[in-house]
Amino acid sequence: MLTTDDWDAIKKCALFKAMDPADFGDLIDAGSVVKLSRNQQLFAHGDPARALFLIVSGQVKLTRLAADGSEAVVHVFGAGETFAEAAMFMGGRYPVAATAIMDTRLIAISNGRLRAQVLVKPEIAFAMLASMAQHLKALVAQIEQMKLMTTKQRVARFLLDHAGKTDGAANFTLPHDKALIANRLGMQPETFSRALAQLTSHGIVVAGAEVSIEDVGRLTRVLSFE
């Protein structure tokens, strides 16, 4: 059954801005709600793509699995975000696996139903294009980082991206486990831990998941030098 929180999430979602809320019923019903517990998989690489998802609460990671069982985290999505839009246009198979990294509540939006709505409201297509453009940009940034930044720089970049400020002091909580962040940044947990330790000399303090940056501008300088 859909709660008011669910409806709030749907109304706030960029994808459906163009839609008349009266038509939501055509897209979503009681069966659309999906609850996942920590580490539970939503879909695997190669599964038929029947829906895209909106996260109401929790977090989901998208990964690719290697032959030897190790995995590469492609992206982590949080509350309010939609993912797997692209699968709708991609030969009917998910190219990645999706797994909840904490207890997560999401809403499944059937590809078929959405297609029907797009025919009625082409503006939805624009919203999807914008969303996919964002994802593309994020992936390009990730590729750039892995190709031409050191681990230390990638960690600094990550911290700066999450500081939410461009100068002065900042503090925030790491969005998920350090091991997961490390994977996302393309490095081992040990390397991540050491990089954080090194950044202490650039004015950051990490206590558990709490990070405080003394001076964002100073940390930015790490990106250009060394």
80, interface contact from its own copies, DNA, none, CB < 5-8 Å by kind: none
Query: Which residues are bridge partners to 146 per DSSP?
Result: none
CB 79 within 8 A of CB 55: yes
Minimum distance from residue 155 beta carbon to DNA (Å): 10
Measured between alpha carbons, how far is 2 from 72 in angstroms, rounded to an integer?
33
Least gap, CB of 85 to its own copies (angstroms) = 8
Please identify, using beta-carbon distances, which residue of 62 and 211 lies nearer to its own copies: 62
In the list DNA, its own copies, none, the entry touching 192 (Cβ below 5 to 8 angstroms by class) is DNA
Identify the H or E element spanning 119. Answer: helix 111-120
Triad 132, 137, 142: Cα angle to 5°: 125
Cβ atoms of 59 and 102 within 8 Å: the answer is: yes
Judged by the rule CB under 7 A, the positions of this chain that interact with DNA are 150-152, 177-179, 186-194, 196-197, 206, 209
Q: Which does 146 bind (CB under 5 to 8 A by kind): DNA, its own copies, none?
A: its own copies
CB-wise, 141 or 179, nearer to its own copies? Answer: 141
Q: Which residue, 108 or 149, is less far from its own copies as judged by CB?
A: 149
Nearest to 132 by CA among 88, 69, 66, 163: 88
